Each structure stands twice: as C-alpha cells, then as structure tokens.
Amino acid sequence: MQINRNILTLDEFTLQQLREFPQATGELSSLLRDIGLAAKRINVEVNKAGLVDILGDYGTTNVQGEDVKKLDIYANTQMMGVLKHGISCAGIGSEELDDVVVFDDEVSNNSKYVVLFDPLDGSGNIDVNISIGTIFGVYRRVSEIGKPCTREDFLQPGKRQVAAGYIVYGSSTMLVYGTRRGVNGFTLDPAIGEFCLSHPNIKCPPAGNIYSVNHGHFFRYNEGVRSYITACQQKTKDNGGPYTQRYIGSMVADVHRNLIKGGIFMYPGTTDKPKGKLRLMYECNPFAFITEVAGGRATNGIQRILDIQPTELHQRSAFFVGSKDMMDELDTHLAKAQ
Ligand code: AHG
C-alpha cells in the first residue's frame, strides 16, 4: 500500500503547529492527541450500538453474562481516563458527573489545563442510528501550578477557552477543534485508525439558508424568536431565501452542518424552561468558541455566550449560534420585540 504523504494526521498536525512556536511546551498538543485517542475508542463502541440486540442492551447483562456499560458512561470513562493518564490536564468537569474531578497527582498538579466536556451528546438518538457527538472546552487554570486545581479553574467564562472541539460520530467520524489560530477538521480514516486533516481552516459562511430549531416548542418561545422563525419561513429568493429547516435533535450534527454550510442553530428558552435545555459549560461555550473563531457568532439572545460568567457547573443557557448575517437578523427581531 502506498502512503499518501500529503495527508496530515491529527498527531502530525498538532506537532507541526507546535514547531511554529518554539516557546510552546507541547501540553495543548498532547492534550488534543489524548482526546483523539478517547474519540477513537468511543467511536468503536458507538459503531457497535446497532448490535445491542445481539451483544446485550446497555445497562444490562449480555448473553455472555457480562455487564454492558451505558454508552454515555463508557464515553465519560474514556475521556476521563485519557486526560488523567496524560501529562496536560489537572482536572475535568463532565456533564455526566455532579462535581469536578481534581486529579491531584504530581504530574497533574503541574499541568496547566482543565477540560470540561459532554462525553456523548444526543445520546437519546443512539438506538435510532443518528449521529451523536462528544464536545469539549479547554481552559488554562487560574490556580497555582504545582497544587491541585480548584473550582475557580472550571468556573471561567467561555472567552477564556484556549481550545474547544467536538467529535461527530456520523456517516464518517470527524474531530473538529479550534484554537485562536483557526478551526480544523479531521476525518477518521478507518484503514489506518487515524484522524486525517480533511477540512483545513474551516470558515463559517457569513450568510446561510439553513435554520435549525425545535418547531414543536414554537408557541412556547418568546415573541422575538417566533418573529424570526416566521421570517425564516417567509424568505424568498428576493431576500436571501428560500431557507430550509433542518433539525435532527443532536446538536453536534446540527451545528456541524451549519458551520460548514452556513446556517443558524437555536435552542431558545421556553415559557416552562426560560433557560432552555443546553448546558453552558459543556455544550454552548465550546460551540460558541469554535463558531466565533470560524467567523460566526453565538449568543443567549441577550449577550455573547463567551462573556457569560458561570455561577454553577451545570447551568443551562438559551443558545443561538451560526452564520454572522443570520445572527444579526435574529438580533433585529429580538430587539424589536423588547
Ligand atoms: P441528549 O444528550 O439528552 O439526547 O440531548 C441532546 C441535546 C442536543 O444535542 C439537541 O440539540 C437537543 O438536546 C435536542 O433537544 P429537543 O429534543 O428538546 O429539541
């Protein structure tokens, strides 16, 4: 087999980036490679999800009498494991866990990053074979290096992320991550088991024609959101339309598509849940960071997501994210309804 040397693997790419910064310690590159490893392991299990009838349902005992771990718990264990055993992470916060985990060993206490993640977002879609994903945000800790990390390291606004990314387990498996220098996408090549650079320097098109929202909640959204959705439905070719509505109920897939093709994703608050459903720290902040670096915008309908000072780990937030022009038009509708 001939090896195509034009293809860069995730490891090669992160090392290449590192070479451009001789003063860099390589900790961030190492951390991203660790997450790439967890993603590969999770991918193997996600791909077996359709075989639950044969291998045993998650959370039960299979025909061989073995315990079958729930996939989201498995994904959480893998993410935690690679970060704990790596050399770059002092502790983690996970959507699956009530509180942060401080690694507290000599190497971890000397590491400068903490990571917040949702190990398996959209897990309600697993048994119907719809794309799901892992989402993560990386923060430089504010506590003293050499000591265990603290809660303050995790309760930082999203603008302090140094990197953020997601893995989408879909028709192919992709890892997309962004730093302030840009957003790059890597597709898993199953033949060599490596993520290969497939989408260099991703830019979110400023104009798009896809809007993604749960229409079932329409009458529970506020007036501004309803006004914008109605405007989306009324678009014609004379005013930038027509628009198309796409919502699969798996945020990683929905936001990934809109990032590449141009579009807006909305999970607004409703009359019964004013802060919506999504978690600020694990879902909104990473996507807001990636989208902004790619040229788009993200808000909670009132302020920039990345400026929100979190007060608790699992807090929820309304979320609007996507192409700049569409976000600007949304703002006009929200302001008019004030
Ligand atoms: P879960 O991980 O519990 O399946 O939630 C998925 C999230 C997100 O990925 C998706 O966009 C949203 O919930 C869908 O929620 P609705 O069904 O309320 O639209």
Give the single-character DSSP code of 166: E
pTM: 0.94
DSSP string of 64-82? TSPBPPPHHHHHHHHHHHH
Q: Is the CB of 28 under 6 A from ligand 1?
A: no
Average pLDDT, the chain: 92
Specify the CATH number of the domain 10-199.
Answer: 3.30.540.10
Q: For CATH 3.40.190.80, list the domain ranges present in the chain.
A: 210-337
**What confidence tier does 70 reach under pLDDT thresholds 50, 70, 90?**
confident
Residue 75: its pLDDT value, please? 93
Does ligand 1 have an atom closer than 6 angstroms to the CB of 134? no
**Residue 129 pLDDT:** 84
Which residue minimizes the CA distance to atom 16 of ligand 1? 249
Q: Range(s) for CATH 3.30.540.10 in the chain?
A: 10-199
Q: Does pLDDT of 332 surpass 80?
A: yes
Can you tell me the distance from the alpha carbon of 298 to that of 264, in angstroms, rounded to the nearest whole number?
9
- Ligand 1 centre distance from Cα of residue 142 (Å): 32
Which fold would CATH assign to domain 210-337? D-Maltodextrin-Binding Protein; domain 2 (3.40.190)
Report d(CA 84, CA 91) in Å as an integer: 7
Cα 277 to averaged position of ligand 1 atoms, centre (Å) = 8
Q: Which residues contact 125 (CB under 8 A, 6 or more apart)?
A: 131, 132, 248, 249, 250
Q: How far is CA 157 from CA 137, 304, 311, in A?
A: 11, 11, 10
Q: Is 258 left (phi over 0), alpha (psi -120 to 50) or beta?
A: alpha
